């Protein structure tokens, strides 16, 4: 690389890191937490004996998994204003990503719950626990270890998917790189730096996943 390119990289290292810390990571964290809460309710609704509730959960999952995330973003940010529903870029991205995580993670959580031996439910009821107590104290701790690897993959995918928020004017990591590279058309260098930032984040998440799996393994019934 020529000196001008290195100067451009050094000049934009901090702005891109700042965008990562102030936009990309908060967008990921907020969307993932909301998405997980939504996914748990959808998974339980999917398992419900109430047909209407179960059908509604299946429909939601089908729509989310059957449509591109980019289209979901565009509907929320660009299409809803036609119905006088105006949402700022960051909240719009949170809504879209949360709904997307909820649709994918719901099936992960449902499969993890179903993988716990039915005898665990029976034992919980035998000692006088209610459904919610059995779920919270017995079933979910065991299901957590099973769900951690696929949910971690979902989180890592979400980190990378936040780059799509640049299409609805969220000034996250990728959009910061685009704006910095536009005057000089030196996209390769700054996109390379952006890729490095994403990679480092995913490395830390992978390390955290391993630690969490080890910790949760202690609470699994043998």
Q: Which CATH number belongs to the domain containing residue 154 in this structure?
A: 1.10.3720.10
Distance CA 138, CA 150 (A): 21
* Structural domain for 136, as ranges: 3-219
Angle at Cα 80 formed by Cα 79 and Cα 81, nearest 5°? 90
CB-facing half-sphere around the CA of 107: CA atoms within 13 A: 12
Residue 181 clears pLDDT 80, i.e. is over it: yes
Instruction: Say how many domains are in the chain.
Output: 1
Residue 149: which of 202, 219, 210, 203 has the closest Cα?
A: 210
pTM of this structure = 0.91
Mean pLDDT score, 46-55: 94
Q: Give me the pLDDT at residue 61, please.
A: 97
Q: Are 81 and 112 in contact (CB under 8 A)?
A: no
**Residues 160-169, mean pLDDT to the nearest whole number:** 95
Question: Comparing C-alpha atoms, which of 6, 60, 5 is closest to residue 35?
Answer: 60
Cα angle: 86, vertex 65, 141; to 5 degrees: 100
């Amino acid at each position: 690389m020529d000196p001008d390119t290195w100067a451009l990289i050094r000049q934009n290292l901090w702005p891109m890191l700042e965008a990562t810390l102030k936009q990309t990571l908060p967008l990921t964290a907020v969307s993932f937490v909301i998405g997980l809460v939504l996914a748990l309710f959808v998974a339980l609704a999917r398992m419900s004996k109430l047909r209407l509730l179960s059908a509604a959960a299946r429909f939601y999952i089908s729509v989310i998994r059957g449509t591109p995330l980019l289209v979901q973003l565009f509907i929320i940010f660009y299409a809803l204003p036609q119905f006088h529903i105006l949402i700022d870029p960051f909240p719009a991205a949170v809504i879209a990503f949360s709904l997307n995580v909820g649709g994918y993670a719901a099936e992960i959580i449902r499969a993890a719950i179903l993988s716990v031996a039915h005898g665990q439910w029976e034992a919980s009821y035998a000692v006088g626990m209610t459904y919610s107590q059995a779920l919270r104290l017995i079933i979910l701790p065991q299901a957590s270890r099973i769900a951690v690897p696929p949910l971690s993959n979902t989180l890592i995918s979400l980190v990378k998917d936040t780059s799509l928020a640049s299409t609805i004017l969220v000034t996250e990591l990728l959009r910061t790189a685009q704006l910095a590279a536009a005057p000089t058309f030196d996209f390769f260098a700054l996109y390379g730096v952006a890729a490095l930032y994403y990679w480092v984040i995913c490395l830390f998440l992978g390390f955290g996943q391993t630690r969490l799996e080890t910790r949760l393994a202690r609470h699994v019934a043998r």
